Amino acid sequence: MGETLHNDAIYVAVNQNVRESKLTLLWTLRTLPVKKLCLLHVHLPFSLTASSSGLDESEINAIQESELKTSYDSLHKYRDICTNKGVIEEDVDISLISGYDVGEGIVELMYQNNIKKLVMGAAADPHYSRGMSITSRKAEYVSQHAPQCCKMWFICKGKLIETREGSFDHENPSDSFSEFHDSLSVSPKKVIKAELTPEDLPPEDFLCPISMEIMQDPHVAADGHTYEADTIRTWLRRGGQNSPKTGARLANHNLTPNYTLRSVINEWLQQHPKYINP
């Protein structure tokens, strides 16, 4: 796969249901000069617990992994649409993030990837009407919170609804990314280590290879190794092209949640109270 960090790349936000975003993607391919294209998707994982669902952890993990696979299958269908319209497969990339709010996830990806051009839906296609404006809550959120340097096109039923011009004299993207995260109302959880004995130390596989801290949100990168999500995303955003673990060049910047390891780590933390969450 190609790399996602290209200033001339056009990013298209797509839903898991291909029918919902197909016309938006086709508008992009028909209207804009596409050199590099990245399919951007926010995966919404099922929020299941053993107590509320009556399932055990392995069953919950299987459901979540199946849903994630469905998201990737949809992205591959979108990629097929691009190649059928003449875009070279190596010029179509995928950027996926797991989260619980699509608008916030899109904005986070915009800052992470320094996105300069974004196409997304303005509303569900059945809501199209002549002279309409943006009615989608997530589109409104993205329009209000996106970096000022990004030009955006909002589409409904294959028709342009609104354009927001980008201001390219905006501040340095890395500063914007920091400000974006500083503005979040909820800080990421951190593990505090009390005074530990050797028996209290976590297995090496629980530690992020970059930060060497126990992982809270482990994600698998293209090298097959697992990292703390925020840490590996920062590595990639700062231009990291090679695996932090092996030094080999990364085939792509895709990250996949490691639900199984997260479950094992959480169980271990419960059994080792000297590691505590504030």
**Fold classified for 9-174:** Rossmann fold (3.40.50)
Sequence-separated contacts (24+) of 201-206 with Cβ below 8 Å: 202/265, 202/268, 202/272, 202/275, 203/268, 205/261, 206/261, 206/264, 206/265, 206/268
Would strands 226-228 and 218-220 be described as parallel, antiparallel, or unpaired? antiparallel
Residue 48 binned pLDDT confidence (cut-offs 50, 70, 90): low
Q: Tens digit of pLDDT for each residue in 245-263?
A: 888 888 888 888 888 888 8
- What are the pLDDT digits (tens) for 111-142? 878 899 999 999 988 889 988 999 998 999 99
3-class DSSP state of 227? strand
Confidence at 235, pLDDT banded by 50, 70, 90: confident
- State residue 58's pLDDT score: 82
244 Cβ contact partners less than 8 Å away, ≥ 6 residues apart: 209, 210, 225, 227, 232, 235
In 168-189, which positions are buried (b, 16+ CB within 10 angstroms) versus exposed (e)?
eeeeebeebbeebeeeeeeeee
Domain residue ranges of the chain, discontinuous segments joined by +:
9-174, 187-276
Amino acid at 12: V
Q: Which CATH number fits domain 187-276: 1.10.3720.10, 3.30.470.20, 3.30.40.10, 3.30.365.10?
A: 3.30.40.10
